[in-house]
Amino acid sequence: MNNEFPKIKSTTVLAVLHNGKVAIGADGQATMGNTVAKSNVKKIRKLQDGKIVVGFAGSTADAFTLLDRFEEKLNTHGGNMKRAAIELAKDWRTDRYLSKLEAMIITVSKEELLIISGNGDVLEPDNQIASIGSGSMYAQSAAIALKRHASHLTAEEIVKESLTIAADICIYTNHNFVIENL
């Protein structure tokens, strides 16, 4: 397996920790090849009674398999998000079945953001901004600029505006957003 993230071209998920608040959002578009299959998919899930929120990009079935495993790891490790993420990443990379799954995950709590990939990566992103999916670099760039130069905005406002910019540019991202706050 190479050391790069898989090229997920199916969505944009963005999480921002700003002024002590966390927001995570995703668009709702699902594609099959170059065709829009559905425009209102919910790619954000609450876990641990809403204490942890997860967003996913990639194959939906693969992502749900990984979310189930992540939730099992959370339960095993007493809700410790970082420990659960590390254990999931180890399994994802080494398990014969899991290693074939094509998805990426962002997981957030009130204190931290993590990106989990099938390469065994658990990343704490710079700037307290995490993004995955085909429009991730557009959304991340917008979020960095907004966080730096519009500090009066809330985390939710930064996520919404950044996803809007990504949706304006990325053909795999639409304007049907689901945004959750912690």
Contact predicate 4/126, CB 8 Å:
no
Our answer to whether residue 76 is catalytic in this structure is: no
164 CB burial (10 A radius; 0-12, 13-18, 19+): middle
- Each residue of 123-138: b (16+ CB within 10 Å) or e? eebeebbbbbbbbbeb
β-partners of residue 56 are: 105
The total number of residues written for the chain in this structure: 182
Contacts for 29 with CB less than 8 Å, ≥ 6 apart: 10, 11, 36, 38, 39, 41, 172, 173, 174, 176
Q: What are phi and psi of 40, to 5 degrees?
A: -135, 45
Active site residues: 11
